[in-house]
Each structure stands twice: as structure tokens, then as C-alpha cells.
Structure 1
Amino acid sequence: MFSRLLSRVDQRARIPDGLALYAIGDIHGCADLLADAFALIDEDIARTRPERAIHVFLGDYIDRGPDSRRTLDLLLARARRHPSAFVRGNHEAILSDVLRRDDLVSDWLRLGGSTTLMSYDVLVPRTNVDGAELRRSLAQALPRAHADFLAALRPSFTCGDFLFVHAGVRPGVPLAEQSEEDMMWIREPFLSSTEDFGKVVVHGHTPVREPDIRDHRINIDVGAYATGRLAVLVIRGHTTDIRTVGRSG
């Protein structure tokens, strides 16, 4: 496991004293990286001994990477040990739609769904894809705990002066009035906005080479399935640290 401190920033934004918050961005089926991230967090908790520790996951747990099924198993096991908040990503939203509509299966496969199917031992033909058959096979293979997990995902999570969403928020719209679609899908005009949203928005969805820390938003998606790296944001009081696990460079 490789890890390094990327950035340590003191901000005006803060979370309650005594609390350590650990946020993880887009995992995309990279279960080994997630296990390494948990090891890093466990070491940090043992070293710093916070009064309370919570985990926040920013969505896109599935697709593209090699082991979506094990990723969900790891997340469920972690939630049994630590208070956790799970945000819905656009890939989870797509899967929920796929489980109801045969006509969306082909589009999902092009977005990385084939690796998710294979992780549940559902074979994906190279030609003549039968969307109805693949949907039925996945529905049968998906454990009830995984289906319940996907159904219970939330659009956002708030702690102190931070708002955690998958993709971002729409500038000019109060946080209480943000649409779930924007919070799962938006890129522009959010990424180029310099607006003070009222809270620091922590998000993923748009991969960056290194975590992007700004006064009004923090992007922690470092493209795990493509780069072999996963970022962990640690917040204590008004201090934010970002560490990565995986390959160096």
C-alpha cells in the first residue's frame, strides 16, 4: 500500500470538535484500493483517537473497475463497524434504472456496466446482447443486501460547514433546493463557478490528476479505475488532509 500526504489546509469551514470525518470518492469497483483506504483510516484512528469517527462515501461504487460486488461487500461490512453515510452516484442511479428497463442495458454496458455484471458472475456476450436476459440474470444474482444498499443511498450529506455530494451543485440555486439530478451529474457550470455556496462542497464525478482543494469546493476523484489511486479526505475541526492509496506517480 502506498500513501502520502498530498495537502494539509486550514480553512474557515469546520466540523464539530472531537469528530474525525473520512471521505472517499469514486471507487468504481476497485475493491483492493478500498481495502487499502480502510487500512489507512484504521491506522489514523488508532493514532489520533478521535472521540467519534464517521465515514462518507461519495458514490460511483460500481462499474468500470474489476470488482463491484466485493466493493459493496466491503462497504456494507465497514458500515457495521463505523457510522457511515453513502451518497448516490450517477452509476448507481443508472443501475437502478437498468434493473427496471431492458432498453437501458446496452447503454449501461458502454458506461462500464460489463465489469459489474462479470463481478456477479453474469456472462456478457460480445455480440447480440439480450438486454432483458442480462437484466433478469443480474436481478437474480444481486444479493438482497446489495439491492437494499442501492435503494437506500442518499443524494447528499451535511456535516458542519461541508456538503458532500457526488458531482456538485448548480450555482445560483440554494442548497436546500438543489435537484438530485444535478447533485449526481453536474459538471459545468459548477466546476468553473467561484460562487460561495454557503458550505464547502466535497465531490467527485470529474476525475483530476490530484485532489483539487479550493475555498468553496474540494474534488477528491483521482480516477481510481484508470490510475490505480484512491483519495481519502480527512477533516478535523477546520483542518483538511488528503491522502492517497495505490500506485505512486
Structure 2
Amino acid sequence: MQKGIWVIGDVHGEYEKLLLLLSKLPKDAIVCFTGDLIDRGEESAKVVELVINNGYFCVLGNHEVMMIESDESKRNSEYWFHNGGVETLSSYARCDEEVFTKHVRYFKTFPYFAYFEIEGYKPLVVSHSYIHHVWVSKEHPYSEDDVEDILWRHMKKSEYFDEQREAQNGIFNIFGHTPVYGAVITNTYAMIDTGAVYEDNKHFGILSAIHYPSLEVRST
């Protein structure tokens, strides 16, 4: 990991934007996604296939969880459909039937977080949402309550962050989930979901990547 890693925020089925963003990264870039590859956008199946074919890293997002649960037991299917699942199913309707099953199986391999060590810098932890407030160590067996926070908590208010805990943890956390008007970067974390799928909002509609440890940002 001497050259570092590029972390890409929530893609949400925006395949063309993902291709454009990847074209702006070094050809040999190591890439990790913050989850939510799918839903709301029109080309979720193509996004997932691209990630698989390139061997990119990806952590679990709440939208992957909704798709898994809907496939396994039809649990929360209506909630998933209401949150972009309809568009996702439409994208799989244009594929061979086994692609959907393959992708669900692939999502089940996603970790709750990815841990990267780069000499001379804080370890990097990539997660779907903010992980500092539940972080113990990379070996710690996180509870279901912890996972609920890691996957679902929207970090919209300053009081949700814990500066003291962040300083003690000794990690740098890059996460998505909460759309922001441009990447938010501090000494201990970066928020990188710049709302790629929300084109109706003039502040969003952008897919972004951040490099660790340089913290350089590149966007569509």
C-alpha cells in the first residue's frame, strides 16, 4: 500500500459517472468503494459487474443489505423498492438471470469495513457510514447494534461526531452514506458521498474519490 488507495463514494447505479471517474484515476490505482453500489440509478447491474471484473475492494452498504434481505426472505422488499430497488431490478432484467444471483452472493462477502495499513500514516478504515464511535480494533467482533450504526446512521449533525474518540482511535475513517456538498475532510475522517444519483439538486449529481494518505479528491 505504499502508493495509497483511492476510495470512491456511493455510486448508486451511476455507471457512466463511474467510468468517467475511473478514467481520472491512475491506471494502476488501488480502489475501494464505500458501499451502495446499487439502487436509484439506472445501471446497478453494470456497476457491480465492473467492480467484480476489476477486483476492486468494496464494503457493505445498507442498500446491498436491503437487496440481500429481499432476495432471501422478501423481508423489507417494499422498503427496498421504495428506496431504489425498482430501478435495480430493471437493470437486472436486461441481464442473464444468473447475474442477479451471482451479485447477491457477491454482496454477502462484503465486510463491514476494510482496514488498510500504510507505513508512516494512521491506518485507514473504509466503512459505509462513520465508524469512530463504535471502533475498538480490526479484530473486534462488532455487535448487531454496532453494525446498525456503521451501515445506517446519517451523519447530518455535528453532535453525532466524537472528536475525543476519534483522537483516541488512531485511525483515519473514510465513509459515505450521507450526501455532502463536496468532500468533507478533517484530521480523522473524510465524508465522500457527493450525491452522484441526485442530479435534480444543483449541489449534488457528482461522484467523487479521495486518495489516502494524500487526501486529494477527484470528481466527475
Q: TM-score, normalised by structure 2?
A: 0.81
Distance 1:35 1:172, change over 3 A: closer
Structure 2 gap ranges (5+):
118-122, 199-203
Give yes or no for the alignment of 1:73 onto 2:73: no
Deviation digits for residues 193-239 of structure 1 (CA, Å, limit 9, x no counterpart): 2232320110000000110001111000001100331001122xx42
SS of equivalent residue, structure 2 residue 32: strand
Give yes or no for the alignment of 1:168 onto 2:143: no
Greater relative contact order (Cα < 8 A, sep 6+): 1
Q: Distance in 1 between matches of 2:37 and 2:4?
A: 22
SS of equivalent residue, structure 2 residue 190: strand
Q: Distance in 1 between matches of 2:76 and 2:101?
A: 22
SS of equivalent residue, structure 2 residue 133: coil
Contact 2:67 2:104 in 1 (8 A): no
Contact 1:155 1:180 in 2 (8 A): yes
Structure showing the higher strand proportion among its residues:
1
Instruction: Give the equivalent residue in structure 2 for 1:206.
Output: 178
Instruction: Give the equivalent residue in structure 2 for 1:224.
Output: 196
Q: Distance in 2 between matches of 1:102 and 1:221?
A: 28
How many residue pairs match? The answer is 200
Contact 2:133 2:161 in 1 (8 A): no
CA RMSD between the two structures? 2.4
Instruction: Give the equivalent residue in structure 1 for 2:163.
Output: 194
Amino acid at match of 1:201: N
Please report how far the alpha carbon of residue 141 of structure 1 lies from its aligned counterpart in structure 2 after TM superposition. 5.6
Contact 1:87 1:157 in 2 (8 A): yes
Deviation digits for residues 59-114 of structure 1 (CA, Å, limit 9, x no counterpart): 000001111011111111221xxxx3210000001111111222421111111111
Q: TM-score, normalised by structure 1?
A: 0.73
Instruction: Give the equivalent residue in structure 2 for 1:62.
Output: 38
Amino acid at match of 2:83: L
Deviation digits for residues 150-206 of structure 1 (CA, Å, limit 9, x no counterpart): 121111111122111011125265244443332212235884322323201100000
1:26-105 to 2 correspondence within 5 Å?
26-41=10-25, 44-45=26-27, 53-79=29-55, 84-105=56-77
Instruction: Give the equivalent residue in structure 1 for 2:149.
Output: 182
Structure 1 gap ranges (5+):
1-15, 47-52, 123-137
Instruction: Give the equivalent residue in structure 2 for 1:126.
Output: none
Distance 1:170 1:187, change over 3 A: farther
Q: Distance in 2 between matches of 1:97 and 1:169?
A: 23
Deviation digits for residues 106-136 of structure 1 (CA, Å, limit 9, x no counterpart): 11111111110111128xxxxxxxxxxxxxx
